[in-house]
Amino acid sequence: MTMRGHDIPIRVTANMVHAMRTVLVWLAVLACLAPAALTAADEFTTDKPSPLKLARRGNEEATIVRFTGSARISGRFLAAWEVMNQTPRYLRVVFLPDDASTRLLPHAVGSASVKELLLSNNETAARLLLGPQAESLLAKEVLALEGEATVTIGDYRSVVDCDHRWYLARLIAVSRAAGTAVAAGEGARAGC
């Protein structure tokens, strides 16, 4: 087989075709392995050294990333029932860390810092954050309460669901909680 380019004859041999195919196969293999070559530490960052450290990835879903350790953070919290068809269905407790605390929380590289942290132990978190006021919330007499607190969290996770990244943690302890009040209109939060 002979090709002409700029009037210079080029002879393509079987060895050249084999070599080109081999190079293409290796390029395809490298392209497939490139994302796996990224370490999980390259995927998350903090603005300040954090006590929350990336856990070893197991055979879990690729959409969940776990961190070990615990962190003491401050900010606002909201404990509210999600209302569906005018009925309180699901208790959601959300922690909104202050600026200093967001610097400690790992977040995906290229994305904004953590603005909302879902507390996975809802009832326990409500009881710890609200004290005696939690009973009226848990009895659904009040649909939402909010306040400020300094808390210790653990079991920190990043989860991708419904094309959105969520950050979750388990509330371990409350150092200070103050200023709880009924929050109007917060019980009807959207899901996916």
Q: What is the pLDDT of residues 87-106, one digit of tens each?
A: 899 999 999 999 999 999 99
State the CB neighbour count (10 A cutoff) for residue 108. Answer: 15
Same domain, yes or no: 106 and 32: no
pLDDT tens column, 123-141: 999 999 999 989 999 999 9
78 with 93: CB under 8 angstroms?
yes
Distances (CA, A) of 62 to 108, 150, 158, 167: 14, 31, 11, 15
The H-assigned helical ranges of the chain are: 14-37, 40-43, 99-102, 122-130, 134-138
Count of domains in the chain?
2
Is residue 190 included in any domain, yes or no?
no
Q: Is the pLDDT of residue 147 over 70?
A: yes
- Long-range CB contacts (< 8 A, 24+ apart) of 33-42? 40/65, 42/109
* Lookup: tokens for 134: 């939690």
Same domain, yes or no: 103 and 132: yes
Distance CA 85, CA 10 (A): 75
Same domain, yes or no: 87 and 106: yes
Is residue 149 included in any domain, yes or no?
yes
pLDDT of residue 38: 33
pLDDT of residue 55: 86
39 vs 76 pLDDT, higher one: 76
Q: Is the pLDDT of residue 17 over 80?
A: no
What predicted TM-score, i.e. pTM, was given to this entire model? 0.71
Using pLDDT thresholds of 50, 70 and 90, give the confidence band for residue 37: very low
* Lookup: tokens for 102: 């967001």
Distance CA 189, CA 186 (A): 7
Using pLDDT thresholds of 50, 70 and 90, give the confidence band for residue 160: confident
Mean pLDDT value across the chain: 79
Q: Which domain, by its residues, includes 10?
A: 2-37
Q: Is the pLDDT of residue 148 over 90?
A: yes
Same domain, yes or no: 16 and 51: no
142 with 136: CB under 8 angstroms?
yes
Same domain, yes or no: 74 and 27: no
pLDDT of residue 191: 52
